Each structure stands twice: as structure tokens, then as C-alpha cells.
Structure 1
Amino acid sequence: MAKETVQAVRQAEEKAAQIEKEALAKGEMIIQNAREEAKNIQSSMSKQVLSKAEQDLKDVQLQGNKLMEAAVQKAEKEIILLKEVAKSKEQAAIDLVLTEVI
């Protein structure tokens, strides 16, 4: 009977050691999977942030181009008005010179 008890204790110890070994292996596998998933999430988020930044940059460039175009059109209109004012003053200056000369 003592022999059977010793054998049962040894079997229980062996089974406990096997369970511990399996638990450690499973724990390592879970940790490795978690690391890989974290890397994938980080990579995905980095790509999303980069994509968003690129889109924001394109939007800002487009808005800047529109503002520049509007400023150029406004400047061109002002130039036309200034030329018209200068032309009308030119005629007035010519008339003034002619009246002074005559």
C-alpha cells in the first residue's frame, strides 16, 4: 500500500510538472501573440495618422492655391483700376500743360 501511495504521489507530481510546463508554454504563446497584435495595431495606427497628415497637407495646399489665385485676381483688378486712374490723370495733366503753354 505504501508503494502505491508513493507511486500516486509521483504521478501527481509529474502531472503537476507537466501542467506547469504547458501553462508556461501557453503563457509565452499568449504574450507573443499580444506583442504581434500590438505591433500590428501600432503599424495600422501609424499608417492612418500618416494618411490623415498627407490628406491634411493636400487640403492645406489646395486652400493655399485658392487663396493665392484669389489674391492674384484681386491684384489684377486693382492694376486695371490704377491704369484707368493713371490714364484719366494723364489726360488731365496734358490738358493742364497745354493750358499753361498756350
Structure 2
Amino acid sequence: MAKHYDKQFKLDAIQYYHAHKNLGLQGCATNLGISQQTLSRWQKELRETGDIESRGSGNYASDEAKEIARLKRELRDSHCDYMSPKDYEELYRRLQQDELQLAG
């Protein structure tokens, strides 16, 4: 299972790397207990966007996004024995539309 780090930890990790470049990316990541890929990804995200994503697992941008995630889990976890293929397709189409509306 993936670990989730708060925004401050990510920013501190990048600052640590910049202050200890002589250790290299791998050395800094090892000292921080994270993978080199993780530290590299955070650094790239900060460089490209000027910020770091701080939402962790289970944090949603809105109540609607949370409900969509719950419905998707329910749909994924159900065996759909009681749902016709047509009903399943309609439900999936509505979920996609809701997701697009939230993104837009």
C-alpha cells in the first residue's frame, strides 16, 4: 500500500535534497526513508507547477467527488449479477459525466 506524505514533508524533503546535493538524490531519499523515484517526482512537480499536491488518500476536492468515488468503488466491488449490461453501461456513463462536470 502506498504511503501518503503531507505537503510540508514533501517540501522539507526537497529542501533537504537541495541542501545536501553532495549525497545525491538516492542518498537523500534513503536518509529520508523514501524512494529515489518519489523524491524525484516531488521535485519535478514543484519545478513544473510551482506547488506540490497535498491531498492524500481519502481527501476529496468536494462532496460530489467523494460521492463519485464511493459509487465507483461500489460499482467495482459489486458483481453486477442483479444489473443488466444496459443498466451497467448507463450507470457507468452517468459516473463519467459527473466526473467530467467536476473536472470542468
**TM-score normalised to the size of structure 1?**
0.21
Larger radius of gyration: 1
Q: Larger relative CO (CA 8 A, sep 6+): 1 or 2?
A: 2
- Taking structure 2 as the reference length, what is the TM-score of the superposition? 0.21
**Which structure is higher in helix share?**
1
